[in-house]
């Protein structure tokens, strides 16, 4: 069976996405994470482009990779220059990676109007740079930039560029849909042509997602003969992003039955960790790895998947490190609650009085404005309280918040003081914050970290407020949803009140109580 190579460009193409900024430490952690998952190649950036990448390539040499090969990335030499005299080519080689990625122009429009040279000179740039890097003992992957636009506009010339790289010794030819606008079937037809023209050559595919087809185009390219797939693990990248490897890898393995590297049971964990390092939330609806990927709300769906999982799930969630979720709402009945209780209280059945009580409590709370569909953690705590299987880890004695304007230091506008008790011991503390909720959150964590230092890893990642009815104007009931993370998992809690601070406090305390219970952290002894 032909092995499909997985080539991750999170550190290079991903770093070009809006809002992405990696520190050197982030880059090293991303390398470690991708290597642990098991990709074949990690494209690590252009060593001559900025001081940060220079430092990264110096420090990454100290790492021992178990699976991946690190690649430095750079362009062909400049027009009118020999590669051995080009500072960018020399810096590319100075990174001392065993593999290098050289990108060159294949679209005649780019050659003449962007690069500002002749078609013949461009062929020389490609051939000379590839040949020179091969002579230095490197594996060379040639990225044919804008290949599909070039192939559409001037197919003969686009193929000439590939031939120039191939004849100069390139180990792989990667076809790039750099603008991301080529439709999947056009991708497939072009890949078929390239594979037929260069038999025995490793052909790769590099798709952007500007037409929403990055994953589909990549899979069709593999079906047409490509043996290397480039992308970013969570789909981040320039403009609309790159082909999403967290979707492509399970599709290759589970759908197409192909051989490629990647620890599938670790897929979701890897996607979550990389999202944390990117400081971006992982889209809940992302295939395979999103929190909603195996979430069921409709009663018929829940009943079906409870009896035969594949009736409403295309792959087993555990195959990709995910888990099945049953969403709770005001339309939930006993079947839904029982399905949700399967892991919390498997001994329960439809005739258990506790189940009836939970259904009643659920409907009453949702009538008040609570929403457990998106707040699994609060629902789980509600269940544990109903079953009397839960002991609070702390109790609130008091809190007081205040705000002032203008802001005294130009940023922190509020302060909070609170006092909590843990197993009879009192802890009182205060904190400043960018608003009352931030100040209260900071003060709570500060107080509890005395007893539970593991809470230092927990942080609030999202905070949403919704006014449930506008009839009472500023006295309206509000619902607060808080998402928290400890860097490994994420969970959501909910609070409802006519007082936004009180609603926030409910969600905040549930967030802390949930993770302490989940980690089985006991109340500290005197």
Could you give the CA distance from residue 174 to residue 206 in angstroms, rounded to a whole number?
7
What are the Cα distances from residue 178, in Å, to 6, 106, 197, 207, 240? 18, 11, 22, 7, 11
Closest CA to 324 of 313, 335, 311, 336: 313
Helix (H) or strand (E) holding 467: strand 459-467
Q: Average of pLDDT values for 500-512?
A: 93
Confidence of residue 520 (pLDDT cuts 50, 70, 90): confident
Considering the chain, what is the average pLDDT of its residues?
A: 90
Q: How many CB atoms lie within 10 A of CB 429?
A: 18
Q: Which of 2-6, 107-111, 349-353, 415-419 has the lowest mean pLDDT?
A: 349-353
3-state secondary structure string across 359-421: HHHHHHHHHHCCCCCCCHHHHHHHHHHHCCCCCCCCEEEEEEEEECCCCCCCCCCEEEEEEEE
Which two three-digit tokens encode residue 72?
């430095």
Full set of structural domains in the chain with CATH = 3-262 (3.20.20.70), 295-369 (no CATH), 395-518 (3.30.160.270)
- What pLDDT digit, counting tens, does each position of 430-468 carry? 998 888 888 999 999 999 999 999 898 888 888 888 887
Which pLDDT score is estimated for 526?
Answer: 39
Give the single-character DSSP code of 333.
-
Q: How many CB atoms lie within 10 A of CB 281?
A: 14
- The pTM of this model reads 0.72
Buried b or exposed e, range 179-189, using 16+ CB within 10 angstroms: ebebebebbbe
The helix/strand/coil state of 238 is coil
Confidence of residue 391 (pLDDT cuts 50, 70, 90): confident
230 and 204 Cβ atoms separated by less than 8 Å: yes
Which two three-digit tokens encode residue 406?
């203008």
């Amino acid at each position: 069976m032909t092995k499909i190579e997985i080539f991750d460009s999170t550190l290079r193409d991903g770093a070009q996405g809006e809002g992405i900024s990696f520190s050197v430490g982030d880059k090293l952690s991303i390398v470690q994470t991708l290597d642990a998952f098991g990709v074949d190649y990690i494209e690590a950036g252009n060593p001559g482009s900025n001081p940060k990448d220079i430092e990264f390539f110096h420090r990454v040499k100290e790492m021992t990779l178990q699976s991946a090969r690190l690649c430095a990335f750079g362009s062909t030499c400049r027009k009118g220059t020999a590669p051995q005299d080009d500072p960018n080519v020399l810096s590319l080689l100075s990174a001392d990676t065993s593999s290098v990625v050289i990108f060159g122009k294949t679209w005649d429009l780019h050659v003449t109007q962007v690069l500002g040279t002749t078609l013949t000179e461009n062929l020389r740039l490609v051939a000379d740079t590839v040949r020179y890097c091969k002579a230095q003992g490197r594996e060379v992957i040639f990225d044919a930039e804008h290949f599909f636009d070039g192939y559409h506009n001037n197919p003969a010339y686009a193929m000439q560029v590939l031939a120039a790289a191939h004849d100069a010794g390139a180990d792989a030819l990667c076809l790039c849909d750099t603008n991301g606008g080529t439709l999947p079937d056009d991708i497939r037809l072009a890949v078929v042509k390239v594979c037929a023209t260069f038999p025995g050559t490793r052909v790769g595919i590099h798709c952007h997602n500007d037409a929403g087809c990055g994953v589909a185009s990549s899979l069709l390219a593999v079906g047409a003969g490509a043996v290397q797939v480039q992308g970013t693990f969570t789909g981040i990248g320039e403009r609309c992003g790159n082909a999403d490897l967290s979707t492509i890898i399970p599709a290759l393995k589970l759908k197409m039955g192909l051989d490629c590297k990647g620890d599938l049971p670790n897929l979701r964990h890897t996607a979550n960790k990389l999202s944390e390092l990117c400081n971006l939330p992982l889209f809940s609806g992302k295939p395979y790895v999103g929190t909603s990927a195996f979430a069921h709300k409709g009663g018929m769906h829940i009943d079906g998947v409870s009896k035969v999982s594949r009736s409403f799930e295309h792959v087993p969630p555990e195959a990709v490190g995910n888990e099945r979720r049953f969403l709770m709402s005001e339309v939930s009945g006993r079947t839904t609650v029982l399905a949700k209780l399967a892991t919390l209280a498997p001994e329960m059945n439809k005739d258990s009085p506790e189940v009836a009580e939970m259904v009643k409590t659920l409907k009453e709370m949702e009538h008040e404005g609570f929403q457990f569909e998106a707040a699994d953690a609060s629902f789980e705590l509600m269940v544990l309280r109903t079953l009397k299987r839960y002991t609070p880890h702390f109790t609130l004695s008091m809190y007081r918040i205040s705000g002032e304007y203008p802001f005294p230091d130009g940023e922190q506008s509020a302060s909070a003081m609170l006092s909590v008790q843990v197993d009879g011991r009192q802890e009182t503390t205060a904190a400043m914050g960018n608003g009352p909720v931030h100040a209260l959150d900071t003060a709570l964590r500060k107080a509890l970290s005395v007893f539970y230092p593991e809470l230092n890893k927990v942080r609030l990642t999202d905070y949403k407020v919704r006014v449930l009815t506008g009839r009472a104007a500023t006295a309206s009931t509000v619902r607060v949803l808080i998402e928290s993370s400890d860097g490994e998992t994420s969970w959501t809690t909910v609070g409802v009140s006519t007082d936004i601070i009180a609603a926030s406090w409910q969600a905040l305390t549930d967030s802390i109580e949930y993770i302490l219970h989940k980690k089985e952290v006991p109340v500290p002894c005197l």
